[in-house]
Amino acid sequence: MEKEDLKVLNKGEEEEMELQGYRLCRWRLALVGLAVLCTGGFLLLVLYWMPEWCVKSTCTRTTARDAEVVLLRSTDEFRRWFLARVRVMLAPGSNPFHSLETQTTSPCSPSSPSCPFSSPASTPLANGHTPHPSDGSPAQELIRRFADYQPKQIRYFTFHSTKYYWNDEVQNFEVLIGLEDLQINCSTLHSEHSAGLTRNQQEYRRLFFGVNEIAVKVPSVFKLLIKEVLNPFYIFQLFSVILWSADEYYYYAVAIVFMSVISIATSLYTIKKQYVMLHDMVAAHSIVRVSVCRANNDIEEILSTDLVPGDVMVIPSNGTIMPCDAVLVSGTCIVNESMLTGESVPVTKTNLPNPVPGGRGEEADSAYNTEDHKRHTLFCGTNVIQTRFYTGELVKAVVVRTGFGTAKGQLVRSILYPKPTDFKLYRDAYLFLLCLVAVAGIGFVYSIVLSIMNKSPAKTIIIESLDIITITVPPALPAAMTAGIVYAQRRLKNIGIFCISPQRINICGQINLVCFDKTGTLTEDGLDLWGVQRVENGSFHLSEENAYKESLVKSQFVACMATCHSLTKIEGQLSGDPLDLKMFEATGWILEEATEEETSLHNRIMPTVVQPPKQLLPPEPASSQEHDMELYELSSAYEIGIVRQFPFSSALQRMSVVARLLGEKRMDAYTKGAPEVVASLCKKETVPENFAGVLEGYTKQGFRVIALAHRRLESKLTWHKVQNINRDHIETNMEFLGLIIMQNKLKAETPGVLHDLHQANIRTVMVTGDNMLTAISVARDCGMIPPQDTVIIADALPPHDGQAAKIIWRYADKPSKTSRLEEVNISLEDVCHADEPKTQELYHFAMNGKSFSVITEHFPDMLQKLVLHGTVFARMAPDQKTQLIEALQGVDYFVGMCGDGANDCGALKRAHGGISLSELEASVASPFTSRTPNISCVPSLIREGRAALITSFCVFKFMALYSIIQYISVTLLYSIPSNLGDFQFLFIDIAIILLIVFTMSLNPAWKVLVSRRPPSGLISGPLLFSVLTQILICLGFQTITFLWVRQQPWYTIWTPLTDVCNQSSHINVSDNIEVDDHNIKNYENTSLFYVSSFQYLIVAVVFSKGKPFRQPSYKNWPFVLSALSLYFFLLFIMFHPIETIDEFLQIVCVPFEWRVKLFLIILVNAAVSVVVETFILDIVLWKLVFSRDKQGSFGITPADPTPQGGMDLRAYKCLSWLCCPRKTPKARYMHLAQELSVDPDWPPKPTTTTEAKPRPENGSTYQIMINS
């Protein structure tokens, strides 16, 4: 077999990785060990930071099959490296689903000593999750008991809480998911897997699948400390501290150590707290006692941790929290899936159909999978509220997935192992540091050469040359950068936003698109009935507030409202879809369900009965005695029994019921659903002529409209015939009854916040688990989709019966007959040539979760175009929400996510800035949690993010300038040879730098969100221009000072006896012999010290920007006070020397006229710095560059701006070429928007279909074919 084989794991999935096999090599290990000793352990650190170097330096390549170590590399844009040890376990077989039953096996009771598996303590766990000494013995025991089986070596490795097993057939490592690996049909699942496993089979499978537990280990503080301290920055700080201690510069070393300890301690506390929260959330329901069916029909109680795929679990009648994913094979369950969907609506789960082999249509036998059969699947972590069973049957479910393989396990994995969030600021910071390191390298060589020429001792050469590196790359940088973030975190806390990932605050400053969950985030929970509008004789009545009236009690309209729903009673409380609940409550009727005894008689037919309250029924006339007794009973007991339900189908957009009025022979069919759909099923003459207009009137106001219809069924349709009839026979030739108008009340703050975000050119998107029509209605209501805009619904269908996947385009709630197409095209044309970025396109895409997954799989190129204008994403599963966030990030959006349910966890974690409105599950995953339960926290977070980002830029620029200014001073002084004194360094580093850095970060955020965004990286035109010009100015003025002082007529080589100030010296010569050795005291040093000290303060003031992202600096009192105090102090010691201060700072007395000249140099320096930064950069360059970089609300780039004022065109072109040479926009979404603006086939026209066709040269990509 070829040695260099490269395997691909999880092909085509989100966690796709390349795998290479390696074998440990002893001589390489020995060499690396020697190198680690020689480098004092530094090489070990490098290998810890670089897993690929570690593997390649200690191992040799081998085949994946024989590997002892595997090197993994992600195939996403981050291309991260990981390593994992391959382990070997012995098992009686290689396939967990093979049967091991042999004739020799004797059944044993749990109490029998020969049966070691009945005790949970001996649970075999291949990867050592349990620390029992008996670990592994169960496998040995199984091998001993199944002597006929040859023990097999199973090779596997664990990565991100998932086990990958070697599969000889495919010659690759594979994940064992669960029962779905077998790809079994529904009928096979019933016939072969519904009896249960023997105890031996369960033990054997547990070897492979491990314990059914989502184990979140909380690392010890020591482990976290080691991981945190082994950060390159902290290692560099350690190096600096050791160097300064060797140079007897203890004060600053202590200050740096103190700051680092505080920084590490806060970081550890935050990380530990996150782990504990996640552990508590998962552990709450992870271990329960469950009943399982054994193969011999026994029922045994075991711990949920012992469950394996294939076990048959009995669901208790009083409900439980599911410890695994399981499929119902008998009975019905009512489940609260809010953990997954965020909608706390009880869902009815029915048993998996058991089709007859060879069945057709809906009854065809298909392979079971959790996605297609989710109506029959109970998911881990969801709450089974109650169960229903018939004729004494138990409610049973076959375990499908366990542990981290379950839906909840995947959610926890996405929180534990998130993808890194790529942020340009941090990448640029490292690039910037590399530039500083390069500058330091030049200084390093320069100082060594100078020291050798000056014949300095070896110790001095080493310390001085290494000192240049610590000067150029400031060790206080991490603390300085953190300061702004800490202040922002504190300000956020004051407005009720808590942050567990402070680094994300900066990234929030870049957000230009926010995804909102709907229920509980944009809206209050649930819908309210606004009114009803009945139809009689083909025309509308006036709208009425409710249907709770005596006159309507026996009308078909109210009968439809009372029967056409899927409500059920749970512990005496009505429960079900909120829309159904509101509709039923509006009638005031009473629902009565059959008891279990009655149900068992009817054999699965559940006659639910509804009846109006007695007070609504009209009083009986006095002549009632003369009536037939039976009729009297009927009129006094007005009851309707629901005979059959056709559940709501999102594809059909309707639900129907067949009901019978007590005492009537004929049955009635009632339908409710989307108005257009229901109207199309009705007789033309019963639908009012103004139907479209009335409907449009309501939808434009943002109401959710439901239509009702009715039909008397033929008398030949008996009870039993109805149970087997197809719904198409029922839902036809109906009579239109009227409309119900529902209102999904928005939270009061929602429209205002969304308006503010649109004003700031921040795009908004709705991503919800709720239904599409409600979502579109709410999007219109809150201003996310303006009333005049078109909504294009993308319905994607997967490949079926040899047909390719296709997308059917339809335009939502635009029933007017005018051609929508011309309107769209004209409006797009206008948008593309508009200079105003706030102009919005007139179309938005909407799609549901199923369509989204089909488009992701079969139309990857189309997905990017759709997310560019996609505004409503409905019925989205938790993992689809995360995929949407990634798709938006894939076109270079900075995405914020605001949600409140556990179903938003993955998306909240993945987004650049996730903010949770709930303090429950979501807050564990979310970087931010808001105490205010509405979206007003979103603009506040973005404003604080922008302020923190600008603060980071200010601090970074200031720290870069500080190190370069000090570097210039030191390199100039090395040439004479001299240096800055320890206390001069200390004064600069602590009194000036730390004080200024920690106060310049205190500017609060600007009051409003402006439409401009701060730059995302340090490597951008204006920022580089700013830093480079200030470096040149400082270099120029320091060099002038250094050369000019030596030209002064009074200048001479300074000695303790020199007296250029005409003062008799009181200094004792003997005290200064040591100082003279270092040659600290001289005129060059003193002059440069004065000038450079002022330069630090000048750049601090110049860089400390205010509007439009931060409050102006003059409002930052601590900063103003610090800067003025330092200016005053420096001017004071310059013009009024005090001997003790001069002695402490090792500065010498210079003539008064030179001090005046120094003051003039400082004034000119300040003036030049301010003019360059404020006038040239802010007024000319900044406006030019940022007018090109404005972000349109939907990613449309405005045309080139007109040059400012009277600026001539050539200067404009030259400057714009310097600052942004690219004509095409940098962000991918802008680029796409430009392309689409000239595409005649975009947006797709109504009632057209887009098909996916495989290209002949490459079967995996698709060409889009548009067929009308």
Token representation of residue 103: 């004739």
- State the sign of the Cα–Cα–Cα–Cα dihedral 498, 499, 505, 508: negative
CA distance 506 to 499: 12
Q: Give the residue from 582, 587, 590 showing the smallest Cα distance to 550.
A: 587
For 163-206, give the secondary structure using H, E and C: EEEEECCCCEEEECCEHHHHCCEHHHHHHHHCCCECHHHHHHHH
CA distance 578 to 582: 6
- State the sign of the Cα–Cα–Cα–Cα dihedral 788, 794, 795, 801: positive
Q: How far is CA 444 from CA 457, 469, 700, 1079, 1088, in A?
A: 16, 7, 71, 20, 21
Q: Tell me the pairing of strands 528-536 and 539-540.
A: antiparallel
In 75-231, alpha helices (H): 137-145, 186-193, 199-209, 221-229
Q: How far is CA 858 from CA 445, 851, 1254, in A?
A: 58, 10, 9
Non-local (6+) Cβ contacts of 1062 within 8 A are none
Q: Give the residue from 967, 959, 981 showing the smallest Cα distance to 440.
A: 967
Q: Give the residue from 1192, 457, 1129, 557 showing the smallest Cα distance to 869.
A: 1192
Cβ atoms of 912 and 504 closer than 8 Å: yes
Three-state secondary structure call for residue 1066: coil
Non-local (6+) Cβ contacts of 179 within 8 A are 189, 193, 309, 310, 368, 398, 399, 400, 401
Cβ atoms of 17 and 10 closer than 8 Å: yes
Q: Give the residue from 297, 288, 294, 312 showing the smallest Cα distance to 110.
A: 294
DSSP string for 938-953? HHHHHHHHHHHHHHHH
In 1020-1172, alpha helices (H): 1021-1047, 1073-1078, 1083-1103, 1117-1135, 1139-1145, 1152-1170
DSSP string for 6-65? -EEESTTSTT-EEEEEEEE-HHHHHHHHHHHHHTTTHHHHHHHH-HHHHHHHHEEEE-TT
Q: Give the residue from 840, 719, 955, 743 showing the smallest Cα distance to 1192.
A: 840
Cβ atoms of 1061 and 1150 closer than 8 Å: yes
**Catalytic residue chosen out of the listed positions 428, 467, 517, 781:** 517
CA distance 1211 to 391: 89
The order of strands in the sheet holding 332-336 is 320-321, 383-388, 332-336, 346-349
CA distance 153 to 89: 6
Active-site residue flag, 517: yes
CA distance 764 to 776: 13
Number of C-beta neighbours around residue 929 at 10 A: 22
CA distance 907 to 251: 47
Give Rg (Cα) of the chain.
37
For 580-628, give the secondary structure using H, E and C: HHHHHHHHCCEEECCCHHHHHHHCCCCCEEEECCHHHCCCCCHHHHHCC
Cβ atoms of 1000 and 957 closer than 8 Å: no
Active-site residues, by number, are: 517
